[in-house]
Structure 1
């Protein structure tokens, strides 16, 4: 999970996050209290500091490529942004020279949205400050700069303030893209999405041709352009409205649990192939459990986050990984017992890496401090080539969906290595579902599971085969709804996740591409209106960006 709960993080990922478009402001050093309280106006007036990496620079090739090795680009130059003044100046320069700007935080975008041949990449990787501050109304906040990684966030917030954010487990994912796509992680069933705690974004926009800094706050006048701009960054995705310098979070963000239990159990594919009904029972039980225990008012299992990793048979084992944030492990044990009830194939310790994680616990569960557990659950993995798809599920899997999983995960590999190919099923819901579908820009607020389809490889010659395989299983699982997880009041699915972008869902400029409704649902019209107000020249765009209204 990446940048959230993908192989790249319960995340992040990772990360991703999606387009990774944001700009940091101050840097990793501690920020003086006076500057923080002033919202860094002093920095805005400072001399621009940064570096331009030209094609002749030995760093150029490395900085022109992100985490996913499928994507690399040849911009006119790469700017290592040094401070807020530098971000503003470089954006003005790019516009004056008619160079398309793209911005990279952690570089974990699943698609090539930061790719930029002939333009300028604004690289935020040196701008990773995390500190106590105040918002524009003088209210205390925790500020995260756009270039910070999840690990910067966790280490600083925990060590200095004993608080955390319910963000992704892939800690190399950049906050810049991860947060504005919504962000979720192992603590989200108890504490909601990352953006549920967001109170302000400091954004450089290009409004009516003018490059300026706007501090958009959730308390801005209802119906104002600033309120729309803030709301758009609570799930509208990266690369759409401007360059995010800072994210401010409420001062009452959660305290992490002192300790958690990590559980890892696996079922050998050898046994599942001999007893196919066990596979169906496993999926049925997992879905039934979270259908019962994912409501917004759930109390017993709010502290449970679990991931079922359905690997290809060539991997060797199907794995169930869980985190339980209370001291008494009895509810965790009851959950694991429920999931494997009725199966002939007996659970074992994990024998093979699944989706970047390998926890071969002989006792099948282990208690450890939360901070150490967070380090343990980092699934970033190696820099490879990758392809991803996603889906929200509001109900347990249908028989047809389970049959499709089985058919594709047990089929012969056809000459390609599918050991790193899997469908990752994350638990969802609880406090995530306490928000309304239009309260933030994340509209999926009644799902019980979130799926990420993943495949990884290293040889470019394997591109076509891996892409075809992932498209095949995805289309088969959602065959009854046209090959995609369609939305609707009676649908069992609820679209796809913007931080796990998938170019197969259409591109900007096409007639009614699927990504607009699957990522955003009814919120897309408001995002378009916000785009018109804050970026009417479409300066910030990529293959799946929010388009201007027609």
Structure 2
């Protein structure tokens, strides 16, 4: 190899230093100043702009950020923080926030309730701002027409309470946790203990309002059938900012019945036979009955120092106790249900019961948002299409005890779920699925070693379950967000990477979602770690084609310079 002069190398380093200096990331203060100026010019209520934009230097920034962090894993000093938090009061505030975030080329994260299991709505590895919809909580109930207009920042508890205020014989099929936000829950599918009778939340949405990438407010007519289809199960955050949904109320009886039955493997209570029979009954019984099955590894009360498996059925029946006791006596004898196990109550009281409130709790407890409350958790999901055999269950019991703390939640399908076609909404998991599995582990203490241990437990159990669950693809539920199943790399808009997780969440509906995304947001402004990609790949940082800001390109430029520099250096020494 011939001798090389050091001059080209020095010039290359000088070039890299100058380029990277020219695209240095702006300060949080400069972003705040630019954004505030822009928002003042792009909202109808300029007088309150400074009250809804929180910079990192604001004394209340941390409390606003932490209020709706529902997974403590993402509430640490090392967790990346937004440069700004915007808490809109009015629709024009949301429009302005979209326009301004796009104009300065910064990623926009959208948060309604903060229950996304991987913190996607409030964490990013690139500069970002949060638009937090918690002040968008108006709910208008029209009992006569059996509809309600619900803003995206309302919680499910607030929805249930406002319906109950107007009618004692109406409800809405959605989740059992009252602090979940409407925007993410409904746009991702939304399910609860009435899904076998009334389907998913998305099956009961009749209209919506969204702010699109151009800052326009669109309703169902304005957005068109394709986009309206996409935001009912495809995740609203890939397509815009959901402002509200108009939902169809469902009728509920004046009296419903709840019950809880517990079996333990170490007490010779035929627990394995109990779970076998649950699989045969729960997805096929009267569609007014929803029986959730919890499976947990617990300390044995029979043999000290050993673990056993506890199986718990938690049920809602849309009818009286006598009827469900008779039904279970015929269909599910190992349940051993009698009237003493059952409690009759109003539908709103069943909402409180399912949320683990005390029996004396009044419905207005559902209005408590319970902010700044979070445990450490990891969740994963699967779908089961064939009953698990006795031998299979016995192997699972051993694995659960071996793994440690991770448990299962089995949610039965059937009923209405089997009647709706798999492409009626982006949510595809309909006929053919017996039940959905949630893998669930919680812990109370912080620390990376504990987090690694418990998340590893969940992954080990998930791996063990491979032979028992759906395949080609191994399906997953979008609202049980799980980054383990694939992500789209930073700054990327890869269809190939998006398909890895997208096909698991949406099966055959994924490609239609990609086509809609490409049509309505071709520059991929609305993006996150598991968003719907576009096919264009054009200007994927989300900034406008003309005058894209240095902020959004900083990390990409740096990676490009490093790559180019590396190639040049390699060429110099060959």
Pair in the same fold by TM > 0.5: yes
In the alignment, the residues of structure 1 paired with residue 502 and residue 392 of structure 2 have an alpha-carbon distance, to the nearest angstrom, of: 24
In the alignment, the residues of structure 2 paired with residue 54 and residue 547 of structure 1 have an alpha-carbon distance, to the nearest angstrom, of: 30
Q: Which string of whole-angstrom CA distances, capped at 9 and with x for unpartnered residues, describes residues 191-216 of structure 1?
A: 1111111111211111xxx3212212
Instruction: Map 1:271-350; keep pairs closer than 5 Å.
Output: 271=267, 278-293=270-285, 301-314=286-299, 317-332=310-325, 334-335=327-328, 339=332, 341=334
Q: 1:47–1:387: structure 2 CA closer, same or farther, 3 Å change rule?
A: same
Kept in 2: contact 1:313–1:409 (CA 8 A): no
Give the total of aligned pairs.
452
Equivalent of 1:503 in 480, 483, 488: 483
Kept in 1: contact 2:321–2:344 (CA 8 A): no
Partner residue of 1:454?
A: 440
Q: Relative to structure 2, which stretch is displaced further, 281-290 or 174-183? A: 281-290
Deviation at 1:411, TM superposition (A): 2.1
In the alignment, the residues of structure 1 paired with residue 395 and residue 329 of structure 2 have an alpha-carbon distance, to the nearest angstrom, of: 24
The answer on 1:407 being equivalent to 2:410 is no
State the TM-score, normalizing by the size of structure 2: 0.73
In the alignment, the residues of structure 1 paired with residue 502 and residue 439 of structure 2 have an alpha-carbon distance, to the nearest angstrom, of: 20
Kept in 1: contact 2:272–2:393 (CA 8 A): yes
Give RMSD over aligned pairs: 2.9
Deviation at 1:522, TM superposition (A): 0.6
In the alignment, the residues of structure 1 paired with residue 521 and residue 300 of structure 2 have an alpha-carbon distance, to the nearest angstrom, of: 46
Could you list the runs of 5+ residues in structure 1 that have no partner in the other structure? 1-43, 294-300, 349-360, 489-493
Partner residue of 1:29?
A: none
Instruction: Map 1:421-432; keep pairs closer than 5 Å.
Output: 421-432=406-417
Q: Which string of whole-angstrom CA distances, capped at 9 and with x for unpartnered residues, describes residues 18-60 of structure 1?
A: xxxxxxxxxxxxxxxxxxxxxxxxxx96668551122233432
Instruction: Map 1:182-261; keep pairs closer than 5 Å.
Output: 182-206=189-213, 210-217=214-221, 226-250=224-248, 253-261=249-257
Equivalent of 2:258 in 257, 262, 270: 262
In the alignment, the residues of structure 1 paired with residue 395 and residue 245 of structure 2 have an alpha-carbon distance, to the nearest angstrom, of: 41
Q: Which string of whole-angstrom CA distances, capped at 9 and with x for unpartnered residues, describes residues 269-290 of structure 1?
A: 4325xx7xx3431221111113
Kept in 2: contact 1:53–1:78 (CA 8 A): yes
Q: Relative to structure 2, which stretch is displaced further, 462-471 or 327-336? A: 327-336
In the alignment, the residues of structure 1 paired with residue 399 and residue 329 of structure 2 have an alpha-carbon distance, to the nearest angstrom, of: 26
Instruction: Map 1:438-517; keep pairs closer than 5 Å.
Output: 438-446=423-431, 447-459=433-445, 460=447, 461-479=449-467, 485-487=470-472, 495-508=475-488, 509=494, 511=497, 513-517=499-503
Kept in 1: contact 2:403–2:457 (CA 8 A): no
Could you list the runs of 5+ residues in structure 2 that have no partner in the other structure? 1-42, 302-309, 358-369, 489-493, 537-574
Deviation at 1:264, TM superposition (A): 0.9
Q: Which string of whole-angstrom CA distances, capped at 9 and with x for unpartnered residues, describes residues 351-372 of structure 1?
A: xxxxxxxxxx993221111111
The answer on 1:124 being equivalent to 2:125 is no
Kept in 1: contact 2:152–2:242 (CA 8 A): yes
State the TM-score, normalizing by the size of structure 1: 0.76
The answer on 1:111 being equivalent to 2:118 is yes
Deviation at 1:479, TM superposition (A): 3.9
In the alignment, the residues of structure 2 paired with residue 193 and residue 513 of structure 1 have an alpha-carbon distance, to the nearest angstrom, of: 24
In the alignment, the residues of structure 1 paired with residue 459 and residue 282 of structure 2 have an alpha-carbon distance, to the nearest angstrom, of: 27
Q: Which string of whole-angstrom CA distances, capped at 9 and with x for unpartnered residues, describes residues 221-271 of structure 1?
A: xxxx61110000111024210001111124xx2122212111111123432
Q: Relative to structure 2, which stretch is displaced further, 512-521 or 178-187? A: 512-521
Partner residue of 1:519?
A: 505
Q: Which string of whole-angstrom CA distances, capped at 9 and with x for unpartnered residues, describes residues 55-109 of structure 1?
A: 2334322333410111144111111111101111111121122221111000100
Q: 1:131–1:412: structure 2 CA closer, same or farther, 3 Å change rule?
A: closer
When Rg is computed on C-alpha atoms for both structures, the one with the higher figure is 2
Kept in 2: contact 1:283–1:397 (CA 8 A): no
In the alignment, the residues of structure 1 paired with residue 326 and residue 400 of structure 2 have an alpha-carbon distance, to the nearest angstrom, of: 28
Greater helix share, structure number? 2
Q: Which string of whole-angstrom CA distances, capped at 9 and with x for unpartnered residues, describes residues 286-337 of structure 1?
A: 11113543xxxxxxx1110111100013387321111111124343454278
Q: 1:532–1:281: structure 2 CA closer, same or farther, 3 Å change rule?
A: same
Q: 1:304–1:133: structure 2 CA closer, same or farther, 3 Å change rule?
A: closer
Q: 1:334–1:538: structure 2 CA closer, same or farther, 3 Å change rule?
A: same
Secondary structure of the corresponding residue to residue 211 of structure 1:
coil
The answer on 1:71 being equivalent to 2:74 is yes
Deviation at 1:404, TM superposition (A): 4.0
Partner residue of 2:562?
A: none
In the alignment, the residues of structure 2 paired with residue 513 and residue 404 of structure 1 have an alpha-carbon distance, to the nearest angstrom, of: 32
